[in-house]
Amino acid sequence: MAEREPGESAAARRLAQAHAARFRRYTGGDPLAPPVDLAEALDKIGEQVMAGYSAERAMREYLRRGSEGRRGLDDLGRRVSERRRELLSRHKLDGTLEEIKQLLERAVLEERKQLARDVDLDDMERSFAETRLENLPASTSAAVNELSDYQWRSSEAKADYDKIKDLLGRELLDQRFGGMKQALENVTDADRQAVSEMLADLNELLEKHAAGQDTPEDFDDFMSKHGGFFPENPQNVDELIDALAKRSAAAQRMLNSMTAEQREELFNLSAQAFGSPELMQQLARLDQSLQALRPGEDWAGSERFDGDQPLGLGEGAGVLQDLADLDELAEQLSQSYEGARMDDVDLDKLARQLGNEAAVDARTLRELERALRRDGTLRRDSAGRLQLSPKAMRQLGKTLLKDIAQRMSQRQGERELRQAGAAGDLSGSSRQWAFGDTEPWDIPRTVLNGIRRRSGDPAGRLIEIDDVEVAETESRTQAAVALLADTSFSMEIDGRWVPMKRTALALHTLISSRFRGDDLQLIGFGRHAEVMQIEELTSLEASWAKGTNLHHALLLANRHFRKHPNAQPVLLIVTDGEPTSHLEPDGDVRFSYPPHPVTIAFTLRELENSMRLGAQITFFRLGDDPSLARFVDNMAKRVDGKVVAPELDDLGAAVVGSYLGSRSWSSDGGAAGGFNDWGGWGGRGYWANG
């Protein structure tokens, strides 16, 4: 037989055994599941950022909504709310009172039967006993107290009456120490004494702690003597107090949730627990200490139960604790407080309340958030705000380019962008590789160089860097590209804000990855114009400011072209409205609607300057406004430009295609391959050549 710990009671051992570790179902989700998909998350977050959300808010929205096949925080929060409603609608709090009432009725019935069977009993004594049983108070607690000195003649009746006292003691202890009701079943005098000693020592420990007079040795001594009553295995007095206070506060909230009649019945009955008022006195002392030590717990709350399944005192405290856990989970899952992180979500509580599947979903979201922060997808700027990192912008741009390539391939029958050469057609000759070259290797000549070198040095490497030759291509003209993006408020109102930003990001990614020799400048124009970095443009929020200042944007574009005199100027203008403001010589902005003739004149003059600089000019007209169509057509004719009127879904493909068309001509005017034949957009737009 295992050696018994000093002071350990049978009840304490039973309680410890009830909480002993068991094999449990694996809770980590599918071990073969693929890692979290950052590409999908980045695409969704990027959409929100380009719609004007901050990166932090966009990430929160993604975590909130989840994705296809994965529940988000909103769904988990909804299930938490449903679980809470279900607990309140299923249960009622009079389980212990009902059980005591049934025990009392059974005891009285058995006693009456015994009185009727006992022929040797004096008639006067029988009559007195029957009268006493018939005139018991209607209140269960009053009837129990009335029979406290009754001399039971039926052994079954006495056993049932004694069960009332034990049941009360077990339930009151179960409220504060979960599992006591089962552990103290068939309680003995030794068990009662062990519980009494534990409560006395616990109260002494807590009172010393409140006075600052306890030591770690005091806690160790207490646990060595009574540790079996605390299967949670607290490591210090604070952990012990935390566990006890949560349970005690739940017991108090249960009491607050009862009706006044139920509270009065329970109070009157509690004196009978284990046959004396001592237990209730010790528990009251314990509750008082815990409330003073942990005033932050909810001691005054209450709930409204309207179900039909009765709960005992211990079960009720457990349900009230579940409700408190659900409230904590609801707040954690809302992520609505400052500094919220998925790490805040208590996965163990979530698994207990909603099951392991919910915990796996939350864990996946946690891993996703960690990966977004850890892998450099999100970063903080100098002001501490979360932003998409350059790495994330490149990844998002690649995704957009892939989508654009598919659209262009479907509509034009052309190759995907990744197959289009960025350095010109192969000339048939090769040269030694130099740092920065992006041309493809000439594999046969590279291998031949390695073989020749090794003929004099058989131990040398198969290929050295000096062996590498690249295929020469025909030269292409360097381009200075200016993308003028309308950022007026009408773009946001009409749903063109995000397509415009997606287009800018796709073009930026294409040039920075495939045409590094070209120089792209992004210019946003609303009431006034400004040169923007791609991160600024994609995170730009729409603002209510009257004006579409194409004139100012053209001034900035022409300055960009003049800085690159040897490059081919390419001017791409995305707009949904006529120019309604211009820049005065003194720098002030003048606004007028309908457009003022001076604004039109200033805009046309600067557009003609672009033409004189040799710019290839393309307008991308958004919307079906006839007056805008006439105005843009006339401007294009004045400068020998082109007009494209794509659907919003095709805007990116139209702009990228126009740029590739401008890059497909060599410096002598001959075609050098690529996307050089744009005969139309399959009925979804049109070209109007000036």
pLDDT over 90 at 411, yes or no = no
pLDDT band at 62 (very low <50, low <70, confident <90, very high): confident
Q: How far is CA 213 from CA 29, 205, 227, 240, in A?
A: 47, 9, 21, 17
pLDDT of residue 225: 92
SS3 612: helix
Residue 520, H or E segment? strand 519-525
* Digit-coded pLDDT (tens) for 273-297: 877 788 889 999 999 999 999 999 9
Strands ordered across the beta sheet of 616-621: 529-532, 519-525, 479-486, 568-575, 616-621, 642-644
| More confident call, 47 vs 20 | 47
pLDDT band at 665 (very low <50, low <70, confident <90, very high): very low
Can you tell me the distance from the alpha carbon of 369 to that of 560, in angstroms, rounded to the nearest whole number? 40
Q: Which amino acid is at 260?
A: A
Is there a single domain that holds both residue 500 and residue 360?
A: no
Can you tell me the distance from the alpha carbon of 106 to that of 85, in angstroms, rounded to the nearest whole number? 35
Contacts for 20-25: CB closer than 8 Å, 24+ residues apart = 20/231, 25/356
Please compute the mean of the pLDDT values over residues 408-429 and round it to a whole number: 49
Lowest mean pLDDT among 63-67, 78-82, 542-546: 542-546
Best-predicted range by mean pLDDT (49-63, 94-108, 584-598, 628-642): 94-108
pLDDT of residue 413: 39
Contacts of 657 (CB under 8 A, 6+ apart): 408, 412, 675, 678
Please compute the mean of the pLDDT values over residues 469-482 and round it to a whole number: 76
Q: What CATH number is attached to the domain comprising 500?
A: 3.40.50.410
* Digit-coded pLDDT (tens) for 485-510: 998 888 887 788 778 888 888 888 88
Is there a single domain that holds both residue 483 and residue 469?
A: no
Please compute the mean of the pLDDT values over residues 611-637 and round it to a whole number: 89
pLDDT band at 552 (very low <50, low <70, confident <90, very high): very high
Residue 310, H or E segment? strand 309-310
Please compute the mean of the pLDDT values over residues 367-384 and round it to a whole number: 71
pLDDT of residue 441: 84
Is there a single domain that holds both residue 174 and residue 318?
A: yes
Structural tokens at position 153? 């003649």
In this structure, the strands spanning 568-575 and 581-583 are unpaired
* Digit-coded pLDDT (tens) for 579-608: 999 988 888 888 888 889 999 999 999 999
pLDDT band at 44 (very low <50, low <70, confident <90, very high): confident
What residues pair up with 575 in beta bridges, in sequence order?
Answer: 621
The answer to the question of residue 412 being in a domain is no
pLDDT over 90 at 560, yes or no = yes
Class of residue 671 by CB neighbours under 10 A (exposed 0-12, middle 13-18, buried 19+): exposed
The answer to the question of residue 63 being in a domain is yes
Give me the half-sphere count of Cα atoms (radius 13 Å) on the Cβ side of residue 644: 25
Q: What is the DSSP letter of 367?
A: H
pLDDT of residue 671: 34
What is the C-alpha radius of gyration for the chain, rounded to an integer number of angstroms? 41
Structural tokens at position 609? 């300057």
Backbone angles phi, psi at 424, to 5 degrees: 105, 175
Is there a single domain that holds both residue 613 and residue 596?
A: yes
SS3 659: helix
pLDDT over 90 at 374, yes or no = no
Q: What percent of the chain has pLDDT over 70?
A: 80
Q: What is the DSSP letter of 247?
A: H
For residue 594, say if its preceding peptide bond is cis, omega within 30 degrees of 0.
yes
Q: Which of 473, 501, 529 is the last residue of a domain?
A: 473
pLDDT of residue 405: 67
pLDDT band at 462 (very low <50, low <70, confident <90, very high): confident
Contact 484, 525 (CB under 8 A): yes
pLDDT of residue 10: 60
pLDDT of residue 3: 42
Contacts of 216 (CB under 8 A, 6+ apart): 236
The answer to the question of residue 551 being in a domain is yes
Residue 320, H or E segment? helix 313-334
To which residue do tokens 């800018």 refer? 504
* Digit-coded pLDDT (tens) for 121-147: 888 888 999 999 999 999 999 999 999
Can you tell me the distance from the alpha carbon of 686 to that of 620, in angstroms, rounded to the nearest whole number? 10
Lowest mean pLDDT among 27-36, 256-265, 317-326, 417-426: 417-426
pLDDT of residue 437: 66
Is there a single domain that holds both residue 523 and residue 452?
A: no
Is there a single domain that holds both residue 558 and residue 529?
A: yes
pLDDT of residue 389: 67
SS3 590: strand
Is there a single domain that holds both residue 434 and residue 320?
A: no
Q: What is the DSSP letter of 232?
A: T
Backbone angles phi, psi at 542, to 5 degrees: -70, 140
In the 3-class helix/strand/coil scheme, how is 390-437 assigned residue by residue?
HHHHHHHHHHHHHHHHHHHHHHHCCCCHHHCCCCCCEEEEEEECCCCC
Please compute the mean of the pLDDT values over residues 194-202 and round it to a whole number: 92
* Digit-coded pLDDT (tens) for 423-449: 455 656 787 877 656 677 888 888 888
Is there a single domain that holds both residue 440 and residue 319?
A: no
What residues pair up with 481 in beta bridges, in sequence order?
Answer: 520, 570
Q: Which of 452, 473, 494 is the last residue of a domain?
A: 473
The answer to the question of residue 27 being in a domain is no
The answer to the question of residue 416 being in a domain is no
pLDDT band at 76 (very low <50, low <70, confident <90, very high): very high
Is there a single domain that holds both residue 157 and residue 274?
A: yes
The answer to the question of residue 401 being in a domain is no
Please compute the mean of the pLDDT values over residues 73-101 and round it to a whole number: 93
Is there a single domain that holds both residue 179 and residue 285?
A: yes
To which residue do tokens 């001509």 refer? 665
pLDDT of residue 592: 86
Average pLDDT, the chain: 81
Domain count, the chain: 3
Can you tell me the distance from the alpha carbon of 316 to that of 255, in angstroms, rounded to the nearest whole number? 9
pLDDT of residue 22: 45
Contacts of 273 (CB under 8 A, 6+ apart): 165, 168, 169, 172, 279, 280
pLDDT of residue 14: 59
pLDDT of residue 81: 94
Can you tell me the distance from the alpha carbon of 685 to that of 690, in angstroms, rounded to the nearest whole number? 16
In this structure, the strands spanning 529-532 and 519-525 are antiparallel
Please compute the mean of the pLDDT values over residues 168-189 and round it to a whole number: 85
Q: What percent of the chain has pLDDT over 90?
A: 38
Helix ranges restricted to H, 118-154: 123-134, 140-146
Contact 652, 501 (CB under 8 A): no
- For the chain, helix (H) and strand (E) counts, in that order, are 26, 14
User: Would you tell me how many other CB atoms lie within 10 Å of the CB of residue 10?
Assistant: 17
pLDDT of residue 23: 42
pLDDT of residue 675: 35
Can you tell me the distance from the alpha carbon of 512 to that of 258, in angstroms, rounded to the nearest whole number? 70
pLDDT of residue 254: 94
Domain that residue 459 falls in: 426-473
pLDDT over 90 at 16, yes or no = no
Can you tell me the distance from the alpha carbon of 205 to that of 13, in angstroms, rounded to the nearest whole number? 22
Is there a single domain that holds both residue 572 and residue 621?
A: yes
Is there a single domain that holds both residue 381 and residue 432?
A: no
The answer to the question of residue 415 being in a domain is no
Q: Which amino acid is at 239?
A: E
Q: Which of 388, 412, 435 is the last residue of a domain?
A: 388
The answer to the question of residue 404 being in a domain is no
| More confident call, 525 vs 180 | 525
What residues pair up with 484 in beta bridges, in sequence order?
Answer: 523, 573
* Digit-coded pLDDT (tens) for 644-663: 888 877 887 878 888 877 76
